[in-house]
Structure 1
Amino acid sequence: MAGLVDEPRPGRRKPELVLSEAERAELTRWVRRATTAQFLALRARIVLRCAEGGTNKEVAAELGVAPGTVNRWRSRFIRLRLDGLIDEPRPGRPPSILLDQVEDVLTATLESTPGKDTHWSRASMAKHSGLSKSTIGRIWKKFDIKPHLQDAFKLSTDPQFVAKVVDVVGLYHNPPEKAVVLCVDEKSQIQALDRSQPVLPMMPGMPERRTHDYYRHGITSLFAAFNIADGSVISALHRRHRAIEFKKFLTRIDKVVPAGLDVHLVCDNYATHNTAEIKTWLGKHPRFHIHFTPTGSSWMNQVERWFGLLTDKLIRRGVHTSVKALEQDITAWIEGWNENPRPFTWTKTADEILNSLADYLTKINPPTTET
């Protein structure tokens, strides 16, 4: 009829999601617990937000997920409650492992050790939990937990950490005009190793084989300056790596780099890079500018990655009967590299590095709730 406006058709009303106090407490614990798997914490956040009355679109926008994801976990929770957030149910078969059993395995794995052992195995956790070894393996795989693996880390205690990160990363992303940026370091104590018996060559179905024991024939140290623009390397070999050798290497860089360019050096905080003798040399060569990476952050120096290539492709499997032979092979390898140098692409910004570190510190040191 004229004069009447059609009212919009109401959409399908979402099932109401109401939490018990126990469910709310458990979901909140999953969200705040540092050892909770990320996917489980996200599902808990979705349910908690839905329980506050948010629509799928609102919750999706707040948590940065698709509306379909919110709808999926809202519906699963309404049907299966807490058990529905752990894993997909198998068709025609109810879950055989209760939620509290899974949590007990995760908590024990992450927060305890089996007696005098340093870490859990599938067998020891199966004995502890009463579940089978294969079940323990599936739980660990689902939550990406690997008790048998160990990695190393070191958090920098440098009071100028932020300023140095910004400085060095700024050089990588925006190198100054009429200047060259060189990542400089020493690979010290490279050993000339000779196997006690000849290396057996690789054959079809059989890798190269070598004896586990070897003879040591001395050491050398490689000084290298990696050009971030083109990947070329300036190098020098010395039998020692003191400040005097570093000054000789600076002199070599000064001769190689064209006189019209400034030289920006990215170095770590090794003592030989910061002696009075080096400071005096730098004062007499004003085109040189040193940028120190934060203490304990050698990963920021691109030459370290280049050293890794040299180690993998030459040093680790090399056989040398003398230091001279080792140095000749290193020199030849570098000459070959410089015939077709390849720069690395630095992608992380300073903000991304600092935010990533902040997130990691929050994860390993979760904020405590004051009472």
Structure 2
Amino acid sequence: MTGIQALERTMPDIPMKPGRCVKREFEYIRHGTQTLIASFNVATGAIDLATVGDPRTEQDLAAHVGKLIEQSPDATKYHLVMDCLNTHQSEALVRLVANLEPVPIELGCKGKSGILHSMITRSEFLADPTHRLVVHFTPKHCSWMNQIEIWFGILVRKLLRRGNFTSTEALKTRILEFVEYFNRTMAKPFQWTYKGKPLCN
């Protein structure tokens, strides 16, 4: 989740009274943005790992996935669901997946040859079901099918929409506190209700 804004309202809210809802100041000071990389466990409904920081590079994603793997080093298979963002099909992630394989793999040169030649060749390699870590990419324009998007909606509704953050550090702290609170009090598997029927006639 990129571009999470640390917004500080210039005036405090006017509290609710009988017959009147809270009134919120529309002017704000923007202190910058943060990026959240989160891993949602569909079996438990918890966030297994959350990384909040300034950049959103392919190295950040690969480091996050590396930490996720370290949590379950004895697992024989890892399945990750991601949308088609360019960092999800990066050289760094391909190298991480290749390093998990028992036999060395010749990756080629980025932009020139082999598996690293293009985003298409990299995504095909990452989606290979024979690898120890398999990435399942959602179809284009269908990232809503990934359950982490449901969780991002919860984060927006419960924390970000009405939040007041005096700095990017305050925003980062509040997000990580919310993740801990969510895991402790609200985490449960989501019930997927879509039956596969066409959404329109």
Q: State percent identity of aligned pairs.
A: 36
* Alpha carbons 2:53, 2:172 under 8 Å: kept: no
The CA deviation at 1:262 is 1.9
Task: Answer 1 or 2: which has greater helix percent.
Answer: 1
- 1:258 offset after TM fit, Å? 4.7
Partner of 1:228: 42
Secondary structure of the structure 2 residue equivalent to 1:219 = strand
Q: Which amino acid is the alignment partner of residue 58 of structure 2?
A: A
Bigger radius of gyration, 1 or 2?
Answer: 1
- Give, in whole Å, the separation in 2 of the partners of 1:223 and 1:275: 15
Q: Of 30, 35, 51, which aligns to 1:216?
A: 30
Partner residue, 1:278? 93
Q: Is 1:346 aligned to 2:192, yes or no?
A: yes
**Letter paired with 1:344:** F
Instruction: Report the Cα offset of residue 200 of structure 1.
Output: 1.9
User: 1-side partners of 2:58 and 2:133: how far apart?
Assistant: 17
Q: How does 1:332-343 map to 2 (within 5 A)?
A: 332-340=177-185, 341-343=187-189
- Mapped to 1, the partners of 2:50 and 2:12 lie a distance apart of 31
SS in 2 for 1:193: strand
Quick one: which of 139, 157, 179 aligns to 1:294? 139
Structure-1 residue corresponding to 2:117 = none
Q: Report Cα offsets for 1:287-325 as digits up to 9, x if no partner.
A: 311000001101110100100000000001000110001
TM-superposed CA distance for 1:207, in Å, is: 1.3
In 1, Cα distance between the equivalents of 2:59 and 2:184?
30
3-state SS in 2 of match to 1:251? helix
Determine which of 191, 195, 206 is the counterpart of 2:20. 206
Query: Given the two structures, how large is their TM-score scaled by the length of structure 1?
Result: 0.44
Contact residue 221 and residue 237 of structure 1 kept, 8 A: yes
Residue 346 of structure 1 deviates from its aligned partner by 1.5
2:79 aligned residue: 264
The Cα RMSD (Å) is 1.5
Structure 2 Cα separation of the partners of residues 203 and 335 of structure 1:
32
Separation in structure 2 between the aligned mates of residue 261 and residue 330 of structure 1, nearest angstrom: 31
Structure 2, unaligned runs of 5 or more: 102-131
Higher strand share: 2
With structure 2 as the length reference, what TM-score do the two structures score? 0.79
| Separation (CA, whole Å) in 1 of partners of 2:168 and 2:149 | 22
What count of residue pairs does the alignment treat as equivalent?
169
State the one-letter code of the partner of 1:223: I
**Equivalent residue, structure 1, for 2:104:** none
Q: Which amino acid aligns with 1:342?
A: K
Runs (4+) off by over 6 Å: none
1:39-79 residue CA offsets vs partner (Å, 9 max, x unmatched):
xxxxxxxxxxxxxxxxxxxxxxxxxxxxxxxxxxxxxxxxx
Give the counterpart letter for 1:343 in structure 2: P
Q: CA-to-partner distance for each residue in 1:152-182, whole Å, 9 max, x for gaps? A: xxxxxxxxxxxxxxxxxxxxxxxxxxxxxxx
1:257 CA drift (Å)? 2.8
Give, as a single letter, the amino acid of the residue that structure 1 aligns with 2:189. Answer: P
Higher relative contact order (CA 8 A, sep 6+): 2
Tell me which amino acid in the other structure corresponds to 2:42. I
What are the ranges of 5 or more consecutive residues in structure 1 without an aligned counterpart?
1-186, 364-371
User: C-alpha distance in 1, partners of 2:15/2:72?
Assistant: 42
SS in 2 for 1:284: helix
Aligned to 1:273, the other structure's residue is in SS state: helix
* Residue among 308, 313, 322 paired with 2:167: 322
CA deviation after TM superposition for structure 1 residue 261, in Å: 4.6
